[in-house]
């Protein structure tokens, strides 16, 4: 890569560290960035820094948010007795896009994977259990239909069952191995409506 200037090489290298960005895409992005007016690049870099600085985990559901509690947890109109457990904030966004779910969420930030050495303590599971005292009536497990997602669902249902709270699993309308965020809204809704008690 030494046929580029030092700055360009550095920029390409940095961009290529991002997920899904190979060296060719990194080069294309770098050339695009240097062709932009300086103000535009400043705005972009400022947004990156400010977002990283200000975004944090919601104290209740652990989704990414700008304040102590996210807009969903702060909304009194949402049904706080139903908690949908998802792996990532992107999965939460997928269900929010359907506009048909009015409960709240819990974001695990991962799934249990013995193969990758990710155990129950490495995801936000303890925090979920801490939310289960009080008015919670149903926990809907909406982890992905991957081996990790299913393992996590079984583990959570076993943890919650003794509490007497209803535990359900979204239906198999979601294709095996599918990431929730890539699934269309109708399929997501069908999976939610067809959920079964674990
Ligand atoms: Zn929240």
In percent, how much of the chain has pLDDT > 90? 74
For residue 182, pLDDT over 70 is answered with no
Report the distance separating Cα 29 and Cα 65, nearest Å: 28
Global pTM reads 0.78
Whether the pLDDT of residue 180 is over 70: the answer is no
Q: Is the pLDDT of residue 90 over 70?
A: yes
> What is the C-alpha end-to-end distance of the chain, expressed in Å?
55
3 band by pLDDT with thresholds 50, 70 and 90: confident
Among candidate residues 181, 160, 184, 158, the one with its CA nearest the CA of residue 173:
184
Q: Report the separation in Å between the CA atom of 9 and the middle of ligand 1, taken as the mean of its atom positions.
A: 40
Per cent of the chain over pLDDT 70 is: 93
Q: What share of the chain is helix, strand, coil (3-state, %, to 5)?
A: 45, 15, 40
8 Å CB contact between 131 and 106: yes
Looking at the predicted structure, is the pLDDT value of residue 198 above 90? no
3 Cα to the center of ligand 1, angstroms: 48
Which residue bears the tokens 């193969």?
Answer: 115
Please list all protein residues whose beta carbon sits less than 5 angstroms from ligand 1, which is an ion. Answer: 58, 60-61, 70, 73
176 pLDDT above the threshold of 80: no
CB 79 within 8 A of CB 100: no
3-state secondary structure of 89: helix
Q: Is the pLDDT of residue 172 over 90?
A: no
Give the pLDDT confidence score for residue 76 in this predicted structure. 96
Average pLDDT for the chain: 91
């Amino acid at each position: 890569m030494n046929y580029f200037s030092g700055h360009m090489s550095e920029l390409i290298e940095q961009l290529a560290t991002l997920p899904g960005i190979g060296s060719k895409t990194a080069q294309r992005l770098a050339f695009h960035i240097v062709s932009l007016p300086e103000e535009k690049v400043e705005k972009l870099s400022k947004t990156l820094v400010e977002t990283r600085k200000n975004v944090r985990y919601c104290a209740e559901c652990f989704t990414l948010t700008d304040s102590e509690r996210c807009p969903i947890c702060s909304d009194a109109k949402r049904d706080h007795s139903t908690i949908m457990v998802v792996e990532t904030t992107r999965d939460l966004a997928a269900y929010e896009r359907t506009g048909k779910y009015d409960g709240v969420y819990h974001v695990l930030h991962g799934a249990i994977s013995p193969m990758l050495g990710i155990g129950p303590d490495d995801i936000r599971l303890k925090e979920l259990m801490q939310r289960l005292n009080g008015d919670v009536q149903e926990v809907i497990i909406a982890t992905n239909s991957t081996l990790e997602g299913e393992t996590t669902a079984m583990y959570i249902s076993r943890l919650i069952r003794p509490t007497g709270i209803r535990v359900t699993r979204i239906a198999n309308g979601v294709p095996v191995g599918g990431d929730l965020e890539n699934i269309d809204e109708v399929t997501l809704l069908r999976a939610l409506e067809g959920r079964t008690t674990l």
